[in-house]
Amino acid sequence: MTTALILLLLAVGAYLVAVIEAWTMNGRWQLAAPITAGIALLGRESIVPRKPDRVFFEVAPVLLLISALLAATVLPLTPGLIITDLATGVLFINAALVYVLVALLMAGWGPNGAYAMIGGWRFLGQLIAYAMLIVMPVTAVAMRAESLLTTQIVTSQADLWNILYQPLGFVLFFVAAMALAFLPPFDLTTATSELAGGVEAEYSGVRLAVFRLGRLVLVITLAATIVVFYLGGWQGPWLPPWAWSAIKILAVTALMLLAGPALPRVREADLLSLCWKLGIPLALLNIFVVGLQVLVWP
């Protein structure tokens, strides 16, 4: 029952992400657009390019959807509304989201097209840049909660949300999450203007619909992750827990999507040097500062 409800909420969330994304692009609220676009994609031809690696080509969109879905299973929306409260929850989110890389590399290699190939390898470089900024801030979150259980991470923020307790970690994780979801300005792998869609370029019809659905679920999952790790999850005054979760997740989604169109696309070399020369020293500093805070100010 819980599982079905959360899957339904994820579907609604993916729809809202599509609506908000369209709004950030053209400033209009097109409520029917995601549905009609989805149906239109179902009706179109789904072309397989010549001489593909058929296994990779077929698996990639499904794997993207599944990895985002699995990461969402360990995120609590209210105290009881969670699919599985794994004891290794935080680790499981990381493990599931790494498969985004695998899916995009498969989508790059599979169709035997030059632009897709470059897009796929670019995402590998992007992973090398953002991956440490996902795991290091999360370690600091687990240090405070003394647990890898996501529910306990939420309850550990009862007095003070992590965004105030470790603001540096929040900023790093937010940027890294945007890079993980290949949202602009980190959309190196799908760059429409330079790679003609990159890893998406060779997909059409129903396969493209699944690929885009996977991406939308990924964005809403990452927004929920940020809310659980840094914004106190379901906690908040006056309103019921589910309302707080919904408000926070949608606000974070809007923030993630709004940041993109205002900024130029980052070059791969710049992204790598920024993350390693600035991001990782700051992330280590964050772990050290949080370590002191946990000991001094329990």
Partner 1 sequence: MLEQYGLLLGLIVGATGFVLSLYAIARATGKTQQEPGKDVPATGGQLSRDPVWVRYHARYYGYALLFLAFDMEMAFMYPWAVVYKQVGLVALLDMGVFLAILFLGLLYGWSQGVLRRQ
Encode burial over 28-40: b for 16+ CB neighbours within 10 A, e otherwise. eeeeeebeeebee
Report 98-117 residues binding partner 1 (CB under 8 A): 109, 111-117
CB of 159 to partner 1, least distance (A): 15
Report 61-90 residues binding partner 1 (CB under 8 A): 61-62, 65-66, 69-70, 73, 83-86, 90
Report if residue 280 touches partner 1, rule: CB under 8 A.
yes
Site string for partner 1, 14-43 (x = CB under 8 A): ----------------------------xx
Cα torsion angle, 170, 171, 173, 174, sign: positive
Shorter beta-carbon distance to partner 1: residue 73 or 253 = 73
Q: Which of 97, 136, 177, 256 binds partner 1 (CB under 8 A)?
A: 136
Shorter beta-carbon distance to partner 1: residue 12 or 269 = 269
Shorter beta-carbon distance to partner 1: residue 26 or 192 = 192
Q: Which of 15, 23, 81, 125 binds partner 1 (CB under 8 A)?
A: 125
Report if residue 205 touches partner 1, rule: CB under 8 A.
yes
Report if residue 129 touches partner 1, rule: CB under 8 A.
yes
